[in-house]
Structure 1
Amino acid sequence: MTMDLLRTNYHWRNRYLLMRHGHSQANAQRKIISSPERGLTNYGLSEQGEQQLVDVLAQWRWPEPTRVVHSDFLRTTHTAARVTEAFALEMQQEERLRERHFGELEGQADSHYPEVWAQDAQSAAHRQWQVEPLTSVAARMCATLEALEQRWQGETVLVVSHGDPLQILLTALAGKPLTQHREQLALAPASITLVGG
């Protein structure tokens, strides 16, 4: 990847609050939901996820967002909506922030994730089970930040996405091999990580 923001001396124009969606109905059912066909209109936040958002907003300890950009899956849209309502902002959809596509494992038990991650540790380009490769996820996530950097300056942008894509993005931004993305501290539902600024 040759994105400017991967340079160690890159000067950020904005701050980014990278937020994983709250606990979802897919999490509750322990299902892999990664396709637009299922994820855009179903599997929004669970009751637990709704409460997580209430708690996060009541105890907000990050810079106040001025922009909100989100994956168009239902669970991320619900999450972004709670934040935009709290801060009286508008939200913008961004398809490149979608969940990593898990191919043949779509709709199956989330107990398959470790099998994918074991393959990830061997190759950032693998497509076992037709899973979206790490290189593809990293490229689209970095391209999204790159576009936001070109669009705005001096903003605090809340970016609402999914666990794997955000961990892969953070790994890329840290300059580490993408094969090490599971060595990052796992992002809890409704967690926020500050980048840039």
Structure 2
Amino acid sequence: MSNTFPPASGRWRNRYLLMRHGHSQANQEGRIISSPERGLSGFGLSSRGRAQLDTLLADWHWPRPERILHSDFRRTTETAECVARHFGLALTVEPRLRERHFGCFEGERDDRYPEVWAQDARDPAHRHGGVESVVEVAARMGQVIDGLERRHRDETILLVSHGDPLQILLAALEGYELSRHREREPLTPASITAL
């Protein structure tokens, strides 16, 4: 999966590849794992996720990354490690790329996500049930790219993150109202979107 979106200014200083982690144990169990207490040390890649990455790397058709930043959750760390080994690159941990925190839904079945997304559609600033707001997620994800744009030039940078944060970032970059972030096609595990 690959799409291309221009920045508001019309031109990026760098090339960005946004990658959702491979299929994880949380995906396999159908559970919401969004807290650092659970996500940093547990719920890494499933065997299906590792196979997805093997296939992706064997058929890599995007620009070769020169820099990899990743969420510090186990599933994103393991995904980034696979890509880094393949290309012989070092990794940079970036906590602002973490999963969106789903508050009281933590550990629940993933069929609870639509409840949060329905609230998002009504109010992207909501914090119902302790959920991190869409506005907050967009701000922290945007800060990562803003910082990279200030510090680097003419690099291909891979950002390894999670489905909801990447959906929100893409909605913001595409100029969508943040309340509409779920209207774009969902990102699949181990997918890459080029900016």
With normalisation by structure 2, the TM-score equals: 0.96
What CA distance in whole angstroms lies between the structure 1 residues aligned with 2:86 and 2:150?
Answer: 27
Shift of 1:150: 1.2
Task: Check 1:152–1:116 CA distance in 2 against 1; reply closer, same or farther (3 A cut).
Answer: same
What CA distance in whole angstroms lies between the structure 2 residues aligned with 1:8 and 1:83?
Answer: 29
What CA distance in whole angstroms lies between the structure 1 residues aligned with 2:165 and 2:185?
Answer: 14
Q: Which runs of 4+ in 1 moved over 6 A?
A: none
What CA distance in whole angstroms lies between the structure 1 residues aligned with 2:76 and 2:65?
Answer: 16
Q: Which residue of 2 aligns with 1:189?
A: 189
Shift of 1:11: 2.3
Shift of 1:94: 0.2
What CA distance in whole angstroms lies between the structure 1 residues aligned with 2:27 and 2:61?
Answer: 26
Deviations 1:125-144 (A, max 9, x none): 01111100000000000001
Q: Which residue of 1 aligns with 2:34?
A: 34
Q: How does 1:15-164 map to 2 (within 5 A)?
A: 15-164=15-164
Shift of 1:7: 6.1
Deviations 1:21-68 (A, max 9, x none): 000000001110000000000000000000000000011111111100
What CA distance in whole angstroms lies between the structure 2 residues aligned with 1:145 and 1:8?
Answer: 13
Structure 2 letter corresponding to 1:143: Q
RMSD: 1.0
What CA distance in whole angstroms lies between the structure 2 residues aligned with 1:60 and 1:163?
Answer: 21
SS in 2 for 1:159: strand
Q: Which residue of 2 aligns with 1:3?
A: none
Shift of 1:151: 1.6
What CA distance in whole angstroms lies between the structure 1 residues aligned with 2:9 and 2:41?
Answer: 41
What CA distance in whole angstroms lies between the structure 1 residues aligned with 2:8 and 2:70?
Answer: 26
| The 10-residue stretch of structure 1 (71-80 or 147-156) with the greater mean CA deviation from structure 2 | 147-156
How many percent of aligned residue pairs carry the same amino acid? 58
How many residue pairs are counted as aligned between the two chains?
190
Shift of 1:75: 0.2
Unaligned runs of 5+ in 2: 1-5
With normalisation by structure 1, the TM-score equals: 0.95
